[in-house]
Amino acid sequence: MTPMIDVVFLLIIFFLVSSHLARQESRLPVELPVAESHAPLDLEPVSMTVTINQDQQILIGGTPIAIEALRPLLLEIRNRDGSAASLRVRTDAVVPYQVVEPVLHAAAIAGVLDIKLAVKDPR
């Protein structure tokens, strides 16, 4: 019985830490671009969130990474989640598309085709 309780406590700690990291990603300060037409906010969790800040840094979990380091992570997500693999891209409104395009291209090469671009409503 004691080992089972230990396992349960470890699982609880794991889920608490992972949910904290997921919430932290969406709190990175980014001024999202405005979109006139968009789909309503999807509350389904995504496999990975990539943030591009106003300094044009690519961030995962608040940690800057190079585009070359993003490709293996996307492949890992695709292998783990299969066709359900999804990506949320959060960019600052001042970031030019030429910085976002390599992220989208890397996702397409890795086979992650469910990509959500985070925008804000003009209202």
Q: What is the pLDDT of residues 33-68, one digit of tens each?
A: 666 666 666 667 788 889 998 889 998 888 899 999
pLDDT of residue 30 exceeding 80: no
The whole-chain average pLDDT of the chain stands at: 81
With pLDDT > 70 as the criterion, what percentage of the chain qualifies? 76
Q: Per the structure block, which two tokens stand in for 115? A: 């990509």
CA distance 12 to 37: 40
Mean pLDDT of 79-96: 89
Of the candidates 48, 50, 61, which has an alpha carbon nearest to the alpha carbon of residue 99?
A: 50
User: How far lies 76's CA from each of 86, 99, 105, 112, in Å?
Assistant: 12, 22, 16, 10
Q: Is the pLDDT higher at 34 or at 108?
A: 108
Q: Per the structure block, which two tokens stand in for 56? A: 């044009």
- pLDDT for 36: 67
Mean pLDDT of 72-99: 90
The amino acid sitting at 100 is V
pLDDT of residue 23 exceeding 80: no
CA distance 46 to 42: 10
CA distance 77 to 54: 26
pTM passes above 0.75: no
Count Cβ atoms below 10 Å from residue 57 Cβ, excluding itself.
15
